[in-house]
């Protein structure tokens, strides 16, 4: 239970950070520093990567415990634990959406600070100084429904938004599916764990081909004045909303089908190796 709660917390943090990172598009347009903004995305996602470093071995320990138990009940319990973890990913996404207006303001200030001093450590040290905390707190924006008045699908391509809603949940469960398949197939668990790319790989290809380029195109068009700023706000909101809906519904629905898919491939690969 302790492992599960810790993993859920770190999963929530990972998805919160990844959701908030969408705000960097708006901050980049506001400051007219898109290249710097994109580099900030990488810096921000370091928090996600560090959280994943802690989360991964704990997930592995949960799988090992289920395998050592050796019962069907242990595997079923592991499945529900993973569903709880998916729920924490959904919570992190929802919190990220609520924090996006504040994050956009903070990122814009950080980008301007970096443009003036050219040093990321100075930006971080400035944020950590107690005398600057009141200024940071003053930039907190509480989410309100009135903020959605300018949000609309008018002029926004639907295809890449739908693709984002499908791709994100698949990417979310890739590792979980391979771990669960390994617990169901203990003799070939190493093979199963290495096959997470069968799920994540498909999602990554679709993300790179259909989602990221379309979002970047609209961001550039807004930054050059070819689209109104409201279009970018709408894109950020609907990308986040699609992420939330996808994880909440599709991740739960696809967990077991993809698990059995990886299990079948792992057994096939192992049979080929023996042959």
| Per-residue pLDDT tens digits for 123-168 | 888 888 888 888 888 888 888 888 788 888 888 888 899 999 999 9
- pTM for this structure? 0.90
What span, in angstroms and rounded, lies between the C-alpha atoms of 218 and 157? 10
User: What does the pLDDT read at residue 274?
Assistant: 53
Q: How sure is the predictor about 273, in pLDDT bands with cuts at 50, 70 and 90?
A: low
Higher local confidence (pLDDT), 241 or 42: 241
Higher local confidence (pLDDT), 258 or 149: 258
In this structure, what token pair is assigned to residue 234? 């709408």
Angle between helix 252-274 and 197-206 (nearest 10): 120
User: What does the pLDDT read at residue 246?
Assistant: 93
What span, in angstroms and rounded, lies between the C-alpha atoms of 45 and 27? 16
Kindly report the average pLDDT of the chain as a whole number: 87
Q: How sure is the predictor about 252, in pLDDT bands with cuts at 50, 70 and 90?
A: very high
Strand, helix or coil at 246? helix
Percentage of the chain beyond pLDDT 70 is 99
Higher local confidence (pLDDT), 113 or 177: 177
Mean pLDDT of 89-115: 90
| Per-residue pLDDT tens digits for 31-87 | 888 777 777 777 777 777 777 777 888 888 889 999 898 888 999 999 999 999 999
Whether the per-residue pLDDT at 8 is higher than 80: the answer is yes
What span, in angstroms and rounded, lies between the C-alpha atoms of 27 and 267? 48
- The distance between the two most distant Cα atoms of the chain, rounded to a whole number of Å, is 68
| Per-residue pLDDT tens digits for 184-195 | 998 888 888 888
The CA R_g of the chain, rounded to the nearest whole Å, is 21
Integer angstrom CA distances of residue 194 from 54, 179, 209, 221, 271:
19, 9, 24, 40, 16
Q: How sure is the predictor about 15, in pLDDT bands with cuts at 50, 70 and 90?
A: very high
Q: Which residue has the tokens 């989602």?
A: 211
């Amino acid at each position: 239970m302790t492992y599960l709660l810790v993993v859920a917390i770190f999963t929530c943090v990972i998805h919160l950070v990844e959701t908030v990172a969408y705000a960097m598009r708006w901050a980049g347009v506001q400051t007219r520093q898109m290249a710097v903004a994109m580099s900030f995305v990488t810096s921000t996602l370091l928090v996600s990567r560090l959280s994943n470093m802690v989360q991964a071995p704990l997930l592995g320990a949960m799988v090992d415990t289920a395998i050592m138990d050796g019962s069907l009940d242990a595997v079923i319990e592991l499945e529900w634990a993973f569903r709880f973890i998916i729920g924490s990913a959904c919570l992190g996404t929802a919190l990220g959406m609520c924090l996006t207006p504040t994050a956009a303001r903070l990122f814009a200030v950080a980008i301007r600070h970096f443009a003036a001093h050219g040093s990321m450590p100075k930006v971080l040290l400035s944020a950590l100084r107690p005398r600057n905390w009141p200024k940071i707190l003053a930039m907190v924006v509480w989410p309100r429904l009135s903020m959605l008045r300018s949000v609309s699908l008018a002029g926004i391509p639907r295809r890449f938004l739908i693709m984002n809603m499908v791709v994100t949940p698949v990417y979310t469960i890739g590792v979980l599916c391979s771990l669960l398949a390994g617990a169901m197939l203990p003799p070939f668990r190493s093979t199963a764990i290495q096959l997470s790319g069968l799920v994540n790989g498909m999602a990554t290809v679709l993300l790179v081909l259909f989602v990221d380029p379309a979002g970047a195109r609209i961001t550039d068009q807004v930054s050059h004045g070819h689209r109104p700023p409201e279009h970018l706000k709408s894109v950020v909101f609907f990308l986040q909303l699609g992420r939330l809906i996808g994880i909440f519904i599709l991740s739960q629905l696809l967990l077991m089908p993809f698990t059995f898919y990886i299990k079948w491939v792992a057994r096939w690969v192992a049979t080929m190796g023996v042959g």
